[in-house]
Amino acid sequence: MTSLGKWSPWRDRSWPRVAAAILLLAAAVVWATIRGLHSYALSPVGIGYDLDQPPVVLALVGGWIFYRSRRP
Amino acid sequence: MTPRSMGFTAIRRASASVGLAVLLLLLVPAVASAHAVLETSTPSFGDVVAEEPVRLTLEYDEDVVPGLAQVSVLTPQGRDLAQAPQVSGSTVTVPLDRGPKGSYTVRWRMVAGDDGHVTEGAFSFGVDARPVAPVPAAGAGIPLAPEILVWLEFIGIALAGGTLVFRALITAPVMRRIGGSGEDEGRIAVAIAAIGAVVALHAALFSFLVGAYPVVGGDLGDFVDAEIIPIRLSTHLGQAFTYSCFAWIGVIALIVGAWVHPRRREALLAVAGVASLAIAFGLSWAGHPAAGGTLLLLADYAHLLAAALWFGGLVALVALAAGVRSHPDRAETFRACLLRFSALAPAAVVALAGAGVGVAIGELPSLSAIVTTGYGLVLVGKTAIFAVAIALAAYHRYSVVPRVAARASAGGLRETLITEVVILGVALALAAVVSQTAPPA
Amino acid sequence: MILPQIQIARGHWILGALFLAIILDEYLPLIGRDDQPARSRSPLIGWALMIGGAGVWATVIFADVVHDMLVHFLWGDLLLAAGALELARRRGVYERPWLDYVLPLAILGCGLLFLVHVEIDPEGQGARWHLSMGLLLVAAGLLELLRLRWPRVAAIPLGLPALAAFALLLIAIPVAAAS
């Protein structure tokens, strides 16, 4: 068996934080979908301007807490 | 952890702290209010207009009740030039009679259209003249003696500034010379200074409010809805409050930093001590001496600094003496600190007396005013109490200190030091009364 | 200084996200390799409370009206005291069992002061949002106190949902209600 076969995205992570991250990312997707994706700009400047929009900040927090889920 | 990763962690923590801190500001509803808040006026507060205006226009952030709007526009002589206010939604227009040149006080009182809350405020503008602070409303007073708050400010400055400068100039060099961790003494200094800074910060806030109340006028209940910005910006009282509050917050942060970072304690405490003494300038600046010229202002500040160093140093000595009771091994530290303090304290006493005489000469119009005016009599009382404290200090300096230097018994020293602290505390109370008593013309 | 309303709202969204990130990091347990939960002892919370307290005192100084000064100075005191004690505990210079109560009581106190502020100024801008935020902080504080008194639930961050809801309210606050 290769080392890739032993790899697991969960084994080295703390599950409460992973669960919170998934919840936040899902909420961000639902929120953005309900609001309508046409509201968001696609140019680099426009994306930068959207970074404080509520669904985007939820996704950013989700990403952060996933990053902070590594076991001590 | 490598230095690089430590640095990265520190930067990350600092960034996150700042982020959360700014957020915590949002945990608190901002200071916008649903009451009728004055947004703009023509003329506005602090404005200087070339000719007397024919009308005053006030713009509020919401509609006000027409029949309950009250506005007065007072000339320097106290004559009200305002005619009946005309209200249209959130705009109040007040036709004005013609008046002389000078600083005008506008005093207004509105009732909000939607919730019926009363707001009031005062500001000043000048007609071909520099505006001065709004004149106090007749008969307005607050049931809290401002002297008590000024006294608490003095005590706070002495505890934070005097105790910490004592620590920097006396205790820290002694600890370096004779060894020992000084950990307990450091914690006690932090505690005393923290109490002083917190007391001074709150006394500064309430002193400002007590001072602002008669300027705004009206009922005490309505005062809580009074618009305070013009008084904060246009008076020495408000400006001193603004700077001293920010500075006290900085001092408190330094003291907490010294508490939680023992390795940087001495440096942080020294900065906090010097900053505390610097804040004391605000008290002189907002008091009577500021009107008497730069020299009188500096003399008053020097007087206050010397008193703070003397009082704070004594409190620090008493704290060290208390430590000797429970830890006899600290007797040598106390002894060395007492000897060093007794060498420096006479300079503070001389500065206190000299600056005090200078202030008295500057404030009193004649020698006879010492006994013929209330200001002079309080000054005499204060000087008498200080004289008692100086006599006790002389007893310590010339009777007790030589015995301590010769390692002979100095029983009862702690009690007589406490007595000296109490006497100085009473003298500071009388100094607070002097600061709130108008000097004779 | 009066900021445009949209910028105030954007501030709420961004800082709501920061608050959410920090409380999740503080309260969500890290299950270690030994399967035991480990809780954060970062001094970040303490410094943030301190700086927040200083900021609220700045709000006292720049307040429009007197009642704002009176409410905000209590808020500032609460945050400064809680921050100093949390810092001392987390840096190991002062440790007492009762210090466990500091953060829950600070959260509870902030919530109560929200309610007092809304009571003084019930028609204020965003009063309903502030009322909701106050109630959530009160609930979070009480639940965290319950967790301290009830060992069986000590490992469960009971106050976290209310604190997270508070953060989400900040993130979701409409432009017109932000103040």
- pLDDT of B250 reads 95
The amino acid occupying position C96 is R
The answer to whether residue A35 is domain-embedded is yes
Of the partner residues B17, B114, B246, the one whose CB lies closest to the CB of residue C51: B17
- pLDDT of A41 reads 64
CB contact under 8 A, A64 and C21: yes
Q: Across B199-284, where does the E strand assignment appear? A: 226-227
Average pLDDT over chain B, rounded to an integer? 83
d(CA C59, CA B158): 27
The answer to whether residue B31 is domain-embedded is no
- pLDDT of C57 reads 87
Q: Which residues in chain A touch residue C32, judged by CB atoms under 8 angstroms apart?
A: 14, 71-72
Q: Which residues in chain C touch residue B202, judged by CB atoms under 8 angstroms apart?
A: 73
CB contact under 8 A, A71 and C13: no
Q: Are residues B408 and B260 located together in one domain of the fold?
A: yes
Q: Any chain C CB within 8 A of the CB of B115? A: yes
CB contact under 8 A, A65 and C25: yes
CB contact under 8 A, C50 and B26: no
- What is the predicted ipTM? 0.85
Of B303, B275, B325, give the one whose Cα is nearest residue B157.
Answer: B275
Residue of chain C minimizing CA distance to B212: C66
Tokens of C56: 């609220």
- pLDDT of B289 reads 73
Identify the chains in contact with A, defined as 3+ C-beta pairs within 8 A: C
Convert the pLDDT of each residue in B312-323 to its tens digit: 999 999 998 887
Q: Any chain C CB within 8 A of the CB of B264? A: no
Residue B11: pLDDT over 80 = no
Q: Which residues in chain C touch residue B256, judged by CB atoms under 8 angstroms apart?
A: 50, 80, 83-84, 87
- pLDDT of B307 reads 94
CB contact under 8 A, B252 and C118: no
Domain span at residue B274?
A: 146-435
The amino acid occupying position B23 is L
The amino acid occupying position B158 is A
Higher pLDDT, B411 or C163: C163
| H helical segments located in B286-330 | 294-326
Domain count, chain A: 1
CB contact under 8 A, C30 and A65: no
Burial (Cβ within 10 Å: 0-12, 13-18, ≥19) of residue B237: buried
Of the partner residues C20, C30, C172, the one whose CB lies closest to the CB of residue A71: C30
CB contact under 8 A, B21 and C52: yes
Residue of chain A minimizing CA distance to C18: A61
Q: Any chain C CB within 8 A of the CB of A57? A: yes
Residue position matching structure tokens 């006690």: B188
pLDDT class of B9 with cuts at 50, 70, 90:
low
CA B164, B167, B169, B172 dihedral sign is negative
pLDDT class of B7 with cuts at 50, 70, 90:
very low
Q: Any chain C CB within 8 A of the CB of B316? A: no
Q: Which residues in chain C touch residue A71, judged by CB atoms under 8 angstroms apart?
A: 30-33
Domain span at residue C128?
A: 5-177
Nearest chain C Cα distance for residue A55, angstroms: 9
CB contact under 8 A, C49 and B24: yes
Q: Are residues B101 and B205 located together in one domain of the fold?
A: no
CB contact under 8 A, B34 and C125: yes
Residue of chain B minimizing CA distance to C65: B227
Based on DSSP, count helices (H) and strands (E) in chain A, helices before strands: 4, 0
Higher pLDDT, B217 or B390: B390
Q: Any chain A CB within 8 A of the CB of C29? A: yes
- pLDDT of C179 reads 60
Residue position matching structure tokens 């401002």: B146
Quick one: average pLDDT of B270-274? 96
Higher pLDDT, B36 or C109: C109
Give the distance between the most distant pair of CA atoms in chain C. 55
Convert the pLDDT of each residue in B286-315 to its tens digit: 777 776 788 888 999 999 999 999 999 999
Identify the chains in contact with B, defined as 3+ C-beta pairs within 8 A: C
The answer to whether residue A3 is domain-embedded is no
* DSSP codes joined into one string, C140-157: HHHHHHHHHH-GGGTTS-
Q: Which residues in chain A touch residue C38, judged by CB atoms under 8 angstroms apart?
A: 72
The answer to whether residue B225 is domain-embedded is yes
Question: Phi, psi at residue B434, to the nearest 5°?
Answer: -60, -40
CB contact under 8 A, C61 and B229: no
At residue B34, the 3 state secondary structure works out as coil
Residue B96 is given by DSSP the state: B
The answer to whether residue B137 is domain-embedded is no
Higher pLDDT, B411 or B240: B240
- pLDDT of B322 reads 84
Tokens of B427: 């003298």
d(CA C48, CA C87): 10
Q: Which residues in chain C touch residue B25, judged by CB atoms under 8 angstroms apart?
A: 52, 55-56, 59
Convert the pLDDT of each residue in B428-440 to its tens digit: 999 998 888 777 7
The 3-class SS string of B41-93 reads: EECCCCCEECCCCCEEEEEECCCECHHHCEEEEECCCCCECECCCEEECCEEE
- pLDDT of C102 reads 93
Q: Which of residues 95-134 of C touch B (CB under 8 A)?
A: 110, 113-114, 117-118, 121-127, 130, 133
Residue of chain C minimizing CA distance to A57: C17
Residue B34: pLDDT over 70 = no
Q: Any chain A CB within 8 A of the CB of C174? A: no
Q: Which residues in chain C touch residue A34, judged by CB atoms under 8 angstroms apart?
A: none
The answer to whether residue A2 is domain-embedded is no
Q: Which residues in chain B touch residue C122, judged by CB atoms under 8 angstroms apart?
A: 34, 115
- pLDDT of C125 reads 67
Higher pLDDT, B427 or B63: B427
Q: Do chains C and A touch (3 or more CB pairs under 8 A)?
A: yes
The answer to whether residue A30 is domain-embedded is yes
**For testing contact with chain C, the best of A12, A13, A14, A69 (most C CBs within 10 A):** A14
Of B263, B264, B265, B300, give the one whose Cα is nearest residue B194.
Answer: B265
Domain span at residue A38?
A: 13-67
Q: Are residues B242 and B195 located together in one domain of the fold?
A: yes
pLDDT class of A38 with cuts at 50, 70, 90:
low
CB contact under 8 A, A71 and C33: yes
Q: At what angle do helices B146-157 and B183-216 cross, to 10 degrees?
A: 150
Convert the pLDDT of each residue in B218-238 to its tens digit: 667 777 777 787 778 777 778
**For testing contact with chain A, the best of C7, C30, C44 (most A CBs within 10 A):** C30
Q: Any chain A CB within 8 A of the CB of C14? A: yes
- pLDDT of C67 reads 82
Q: Any chain C CB within 8 A of the CB of B419? A: no
Taking only Cα atoms into account, the Rg of chain C, rounded to an integer number of angstroms, comes to 17
d(CA B363, CA B215): 24
Nearest chain C Cα distance for residue A2, angstroms: 23
Q: Any chain C CB within 8 A of the CB of A71? A: yes
CA B290, B295, B296, B299 dihedral sign is positive
The amino acid occupying position B270 is A
- pLDDT of B10 reads 54
Q: Which residues in chain C touch residue A64, judged by CB atoms under 8 angstroms apart?
A: 21
Convert the pLDDT of each residue in B84-110 to its tens digit: 999 998 899 999 998 888 888 888 888
Domain count, chain C: 1
At residue B410, the 3 state secondary structure works out as coil
Looking only at the bridges linking them, the beta strands covering B226-227 and B118-127 are parallel
pLDDT class of B12 with cuts at 50, 70, 90:
low
Tokens of B319: 């704290």
d(CA B16, CA B32): 27
- pLDDT of B8 reads 47
CB-CB contact of B269 with C103 (8 Å): no
Quick one: average pLDDT of B273-283? 93
Quick one: average pLDDT of B383-393? 93
Q: Which residues in chain A touch residue C171, judged by CB atoms under 8 angstroms apart?
A: 54, 57-58
Quick one: average pLDDT of B419-424? 95
Domain count, chain B: 2
Residue B26: pLDDT over 60 = no
What CATH number is attached to the domain comprising B79? Answer: 2.60.40.1220
The contacts of residue A5 (CB under 8 Å, 6+ apart) are: none
Residue B112 is given by DSSP the state: B
Q: Which residues of chain C have pLDDT under 50?
A: 1-2
pLDDT class of B388 with cuts at 50, 70, 90:
very high
Q: Any chain C CB within 8 A of the CB of B221? A: no
- pLDDT of B19 reads 55
